[in-house]
Chains A and B, each alone.
Chain A
């Protein structure tokens, strides 16, 4: 008998009688069922406002971009404001492909050991907590999320969800299967030194979101 068999055998020996298969099937067939917090149910303009407030509470910054073509200008402005070099690294997401980046030097590919600024597109956002959801892959390599000193993230307003409930539904509908689904709520931080919270522990020191209407 393998370790697997012995472990499962002990679990089965301890189980109560009854149709356990049916109980599991019923549970899986009706995901959810937990209380849905009020703060996960925002709609319309209120959803956007809540998302921006939650980003702020998570020490992230946010700006709105009215058209995709304006992204390079907005990014250039943010880079200058933050005294960062006019360079950005991103993946092969089609949304960034046809843009005129002007004076910003661009490079493509995964994160590197020293990278002042990286750019990713988030699949979704959650107004409930100011959370960005990124899907790893060639379009948006996962290491860009963690190796940029400053991480810029583009989110289409249409991809903004109220909370976990509508997010999981939308996620399943989109049919993605990335190696990682990364939920990001603000820049990296730690309180391990002296129990005082400081930003930029291992990941980005700053997180800026471009909301595309």
Chain B
């Protein structure tokens, strides 16, 4: 393969909870001609520390990510939220005159969420898959508002033969995950999750898809507690043709 050399930042949630999302991401990248590498020095993007106000730990983790990934032309992340942390927040963590700020900016400019990378950078229009399912798409907040990801996953889904996209009401409203928010304020988070599962269910879609595993675990966990009929998957699973892996929150 002679395509671009791409580093995968797999994210801590995908690493621990759903490795199949990582492999689906790799498949999409390789199908598009990329050479994928997985730098071994990666843990988490540091967003939990950054959002909790722990700037020192956030910076330490950011420096670790920058050092491990700045040698690659592109960094691709199967999460709008983690991609936004690297692409937008890393630079804000450092003082303007700190050399790390410049390195953070440079890495940020080369860091992409997977569906945005495929469409905007590589110009992919077809994923060559077939899936006779109805889906609805949840726009995760960071991807939507920090990175402007909205049309990209929809364009790719439109190329999946047999797939029907049914938009839900309030599809741009937070699902209530919000990182540590969901455990700091579980009652409020629960109401937000319940609104979201209601809107998903109202579409009658088989699957809710999103680009962030955090939101998806929240939605899948809420839906299974409520006994909802729909299932949850990361969008790359459908795009990569991996419907054999059990949906989120189910065992094989």
A–B direct touch in complex (beta carbons closer than 8 A): no
A residues in contact (CB < 8 Å) with B? none
B residues in contact (CB < 8 Å) with A? none
